Amino acid sequence: MADVTMRIWRGDASGGDFENYTIAQNEGEVVLDVIHRIQATDAPDLACRWNCKAGKCGSCAAEINGKPRLMCMTRMDQLPEGPVTVTPMKTFPIIRDLVTDVSFNFAQAEKVPAFLPPPMPEGGYVMFQEDVERGQEFRKCIECFMCQDVCHVIRDHEENKAHYAGPRFFIRYAELEMHPLDQNDRRDLVREEMGLGYCNITKCCTEVCPEHIKITDNAIIPLKERVVDAHYDPVAWLGRKILRRTKRSSAEATVQPAP
Amino acid sequence: MAVSESSTKVVLGGARGGPDVATLRQDRWWLQPVITVSVLTAFVIYSTWAAFQNKFYYVGAGVHRDLISPFYSPCLASSCVAGSKIGFAFNGWTLSPALLILIFPLGFRLTCYYYRRSYYRAFWWSPPACAVADSHETYSGETRFPLIMQNMHRYFFYAGLVFNTLLTYDAIRAFRQPGLGFGVTIGTIVLSINAVLLWSYSLSCHACRHLCGGGVRSFSKHPIRYRFWKMLTPLNAKHMNLAWASLIFVALTDVYVRLVASGALTDYKLF
């Protein structure tokens, strides 16, 4: 096969630039294979994060030709002809070359009020299949953080990181809010402190998700509708009053860090 | 509200990697916003023109037909042409009757989750496409007035259901042709397709999916609502297609009724 030119961002917090590497391309290779061969030949100091090479660990997330993608799941022969641009995820501070500091996400994970089940009944908890299936989709998340990377709320507005959880954590909040055994009510929290209202449904998170989780349709919009139930819908409010349906609010609940 | 203090320290404002450019995308990311702007602008111009016309919106008994444009139904002004009125009428209204009602379907589409995605991208460039820089210095999303009003979507959804019912009634009524009895014409088919598309668009709406069953915590405790939710979920996946199809077809329906009412076209009877 013909040679390919890889334009790779080299640098750290003090600055950087593209460096071109022209290298032979072998049949069936993915971008990560080529990066590894560049490490083995031209640039042994090229930093990149990777682990499973099977699209299941999320470590090798980067931006290929300007779009967030997993390097291990992007086939070279499916990219358009010409140089292939590889840059680190733009939303997070750079450490070196293709490696970024994603600790923003770990801080957000710690803020999620944990699952709060009722006391264990005699015979144990019972879950039905339809309830299990609903949250299963969100459990597919491999935490590559590409949805966080592509979300313009923090990608283009650094200041919003202070009050915005991001799509990856909205699916966590949605999963807990849809759990039949969970007793917390996180609707005020996602509205007031986690910045759900900042999301303007542009669906980029769904577009880049390597696990094809319908983040916007199945998590963010249902969360927004739950917030409408709680704050903007007098009919729903009246219904709750008449039927005396109230959940335990997260203000009352024991807020624990996620495991 | 109490949130656990994070032990992971996040430093805001760290240096980002990559060049300081709006995007490194090489594909035609601009194509989708261009199409959205073109179609929505064309629709807004046409519907505004049609709403202010105040004529050729009803084909009546004079030509053995009962066809009304969806832009003018229900016709609520006392100035509505004979045969197009329903029971109630605003007596003092002198402007086009379309202006009385269009706020409801317009509000439904304006607050629709799919259209929000489209016009935030195409018109507001926030962002124009995924991984293409937002064109604004600051961003507050839907947290403040006026965009916080997007949360009123479900009320426009309820109003939309009333309109769908009335437009379905119009479509059924079109089969009754004054002086000729029951018959099927191109016009009846056009009105029927319009009603079906509008129902499909409304039922595929995210608010509808939430209200029918998505809002419950436990599907197993609400089997009927779960069944509704399960039925609506595949339809919801087609919400984008139905949004465009119903938007374009509602304009085409008005065009057809307008052409027949003005005498430029004959509404052919099939049987």
CATH of the domain at A70: 3.10.20.30
Closest A-chain CA to B14? A93
Interface A–B counts its CB contacts (< 8 A) at 204
Residue A249's region, left for phi above 0, alpha for psi from -120 to 50, else beta, is: beta
Question: Is A248 within a domain?
Answer: no
Give CA–CA dist A133/A148, Å, rounded: 25
* Same domain assignment for residues A174 and A207: yes
* Same domain assignment for residues A95 and A116: no
Q: Decide if B109 contacts B102 (C-beta within 8 A).
A: no
State the nearest Cα–Cα gap between B222 and chain A, in angstroms: 11
Q: Decide if A155 contacts B137 (C-beta within 8 A).
A: no
A201, B126: Cβ pair inside 8 Å?
no
Instruction: Print the domain residue range for A88.
Output: 3-100
Task: Read off the tokens for B51.
Answer: 């709403």
First-to-last C-alpha distance (Å) of chain A = 48
Give CA–CA dist A29/B261, Å, rounded: 64
Q: Where are the alpha helices (DSSP H) in A140-217?
A: 146-150, 152-155, 167-177, 187-192, 204-208, 215
B113, A201: Cβ pair inside 8 Å?
yes
* Same domain assignment for residues A79 and A177: no
* Same domain assignment for residues A203 and A116: yes
Strands (E), A72-207: 84-87, 94-96, 99-100
* Same domain assignment for residues A73 and A114: no
* Same domain assignment for residues A68 and A117: no
Cis amide leading into A44 (omega within 30): no
* Same domain assignment for residues A164 and A140: yes
pTM score, whole prediction: 0.93
Task: Tell which of A18, A90, A200 to mutate to test the B interface (max B CBs under 10 Å).
Answer: A200
Task: Tell which of B10, B112, B149, B242 to mutate to test the A interface (max A CBs under 10 Å).
Answer: B10
Domain of A119, CATH number, reads 1.10.1060.10
How many domains does chain A divide into?
Answer: 2
Question: Is A252 within a domain?
Answer: no
B143, A198: Cβ pair inside 8 Å?
yes
The domain boundary, picked from A80, A100, A120, lies at A100
In the prediction, which pLDDT does A259 show? 44
Angle of CA points B5, A145, B120, to nearest 5°: 100
Question: Is A88 within a domain?
Answer: yes
Give CA–CA dist B205/B112, Å, rounded: 8
Cis amide leading into A167 (omega within 30): no
Task: Read off the tokens for B69.
Answer: 């444009």
B residues 227..246 contacting A (CB < 8 A)? 236-237
pLDDT tens by residue, A156-208:
999 999 999 999 999 999 999 999 999 999 999 999 999 999 999 999 999 99
**Spans in chain B with pLDDT lower than 70:** 1-11
Give CA–CA dist B134/B86, Å, rounded: 48
Tell me the C-alpha to C-alpha distance, in Å, between residue B55 and each of B71, B95, B99, B177, B252.
Answer: 11, 11, 13, 21, 16
pLDDT tens by residue, A9-46:
999 999 999 999 999 999 999 999 999 999 999 999 99
In the prediction, which pLDDT does B4 show? 56
Domain ranges of chain B: 56-261
